[in-house]
Amino acid sequence: MSSVSDVAIPHILKTYQAELLDEWMREQMASFRSGSKIKEAELRGQSTEFLSLLQQATQSGNVTDIHAPTFGRVRDLLGDLSRSRGIQGFSPLETAAFIFSLKRPLFARIRREMAGDADGLAVVTWSATELLDKLGLFTTEIYQKSREQVIARQQEELLELSTPVVKLWDGILALPMIGTLDSARTQVVMESLLQRIVETEAEVAIIDITGVPTVDTLTAQHLLKTVTAARLMGADCIISGIRPQIAQTIVHLGVDLTDVTTKATLADAFRKALEMTGQGPKLRARS
Amino acid sequence: MDRIPILKLRDLLLVSIQVDMHDRLALQLQDELTARISETGARGVLIDISALDIVDSFIGRMIANIAAMARVLDAETVVVGMRPAVAITLVELGLTLPGVRTALNVDRGMALLEAKTSSMPEPTTDLNDADASHAD
């Protein structure tokens, strides 16, 4: 599909490079609010590089297919730019503005260049719009991806942070659970608890659910699974920190906790655990 | 062909599964163990599965069955040394081994069995003495 735009766009980019850059810079600086995080010199460097790369890419006669190999370096530059903006905490608007603010200067040049040729103007404008829209969407997509990576990493870290297994006494482990229990978290909790049971040769594990906001059938089932797995390893489990509302919910849901020792507070559970491991009297004698 | 040895230790039977368990081996163990229990009149059976790192539903059920059969023959059964991965698998398979006693390792399992089998006065006394001296 060779048309006037394949020739006109690279030509305009080349001829008016300096002019375009100045006007584009003004547009960009205006789109950022005062006290923005970006420095003008840095932005100018990025813009200059982008314009010259775009000019080289369109030179080959392919203007609108941004996934072609000729656009490789343009894509790399945009990828780096939106990734770094995503990590620095720019808004999606500010990131996409990099591309979209080029429209006004570019269209003005096209109009001047194509004056007197209405058909040509329409064709070239359409190609330019298509090109800039595609580049803009590409920027937004990369931005979104980089944000998602940040979220995924944080989730992972949260998962590690929120499941500590604490050794309370010889042979007694405590597992203070905080936050909502979903399948992925329960799996991590179960694995780390069982691993610690092996390492510390614990006989009793206290699962404290004071920090668990709600208990539904799924959560209760996860808890029961953890208790059963610990029992298969030869350790007894005590569930503590059941708040009055949660006790009511558990009974209303018909969850059967009869095989599990439950205590209202962690202190009660700890006392029970000391008795179970035969360390209760010793503790009293010592104090 | 592999065989799982059944060792007699005073009036306990000690089964240590050190090879990969497959279905035929499990059935063979079931036959041999029940025969040995009735032969020796053992009061306790200790099954050590610490070397077992893969279980499927069949092996899981065999472990439960063997334990149940031993109990019918009046021998207290303890399964010891289950690995975390195995425990998670069994729970996910819904095999919670109800009624089977478990312990963390052979040592704990022995203590549990000795406490349970009342017909062993000497070891029980020893254990209490050891505990008492430890407490001091």
The pLDDT value recorded for residue B133 is: 46
**pLDDT band at A183; cut points 50, 70, 90:** confident
- Report the distance separating Cα B20 and Cα B58, nearest Å: 13
Q: Is residue B1 part of a domain?
A: no
Rounded distance between C-alpha atoms, residue B19 and residue B33, angstroms: 17
Matching residue, tokens 């580049």 = A135
pLDDT at position B135:
43
Alpha-carbon dihedral A282, A260, A222, B22, rounded to 10 degrees: 90
| Chain segment B104-120, per-residue pLDDT in tens | 988 888 888 888 775 54
The pLDDT assigned to B69 comes to 87
A217-230 pLDDT, tens digit per residue, is 888 888 888 899 99
Average pLDDT over residues A254-280: 86
Is the pLDDT confidence value at B134 over 70? Answer: no
pLDDT of A238 strictly over 90: yes
Beta strand pairing call for B6-9 and B76-80: unpaired
**B61 band by pLDDT with thresholds 50, 70 and 90:** confident
Domain limits, CATH 3.30.750.24, in chain A: 166-286
Give me chain A's average pLDDT, please: 83
B47 located within any domain: yes
Q: Which of B46, B91, B107, B127 should we substitute to test contact with A (largest number of A Cβ atoms within 10 Å)?
A: B91
DSSP state of B11: T
From-to residues of CATH 1.10.490.130 in chain A: 4-156
Q: CB-based contact (8 Å) between B128 and chain A?
A: no
Give the per-residue pLDDT at B118. Answer: 59
Fold classification of A166-286 (topology level) = Transcription Regulator spoIIAA (3.30.750)
Task: Examine residue B75 and state whether it is found in any structural domain, yes or no.
Answer: yes
What is the Cα gyration radius of chain B? Answer: 15
* This prediction's pTM: 0.61
The reply to whether CATH 1.10.490.130 applies to domain A4-156 is yes
DSSP β-ladder status, B12-16 and B6-9:
antiparallel
pLDDT value of position B124: 45
The contact set of A with B (CB < 8 A) is 187, 190-191, 194-195, 197-198, 201-203, 225, 228-235, 278, 281-282
Average pLDDT over residues A189-198: 89
d(CA A89, CA A84): 9
Give A131's pLDDT tier (boundaries 50, 70, 90). confident
User: Mapping DSSP to helix (H, G, I), strand (E, B) and coil, where does residue A232 land?
Assistant: helix
What one-character DSSP code corresponds to residue A60? T
* pLDDT above 50: residue B78: yes
Question: What is the percent of chain A where pLDDT is above 70?
Answer: 93
Could A232 and B92 be called an inter-chain contact, meaning their C-beta atoms sit closer than 8 Å?
no
Q: Measure CB to CB from residue A190 to each of B86, B88, B109 and give the nearest one.
A: B88
Would you state the pLDDT for residue A37? 64
The minimum CA-CA distance between A230 and chain B, rounded to whole Å, is 8
- Is residue B123 predicted with pLDDT exceeding 50? no
How many angstroms separate the CA atoms of B42 and A21, rounded?
92
N-term to C-term CA, chain A:
90
Percent of chain A with pLDDT over 90: 8
Q: Could you list the residue range(s) of the whole structural domain that residue B104 is in? A: 6-135
pLDDT for the residue numbered B63: 84
Q: Is residue B56 situated within a structural domain? A: yes
Is the pLDDT at A52 greater than 50? The verdict is yes
Question: Which CATH number do you get for residue B101?
Answer: 3.30.750.24
Count of domains for chain B: 1
pLDDT of B14 over the 50 cut: yes
Report the pLDDT value the prediction gives residue A19, as an integer from 0 to 100.
85
What is the rounded CA–CA span in Å between residue B47 and residue B81? 9
Of A191, A225, A232, the CB nearest to B102: A232
Single out the residue of A120, A111, A3 nearest to residue A63, CA to CA. Answer: A3
pLDDT tens digits, one per residue of A11-38: 888 888 888 888 888 888 877 765 566 6
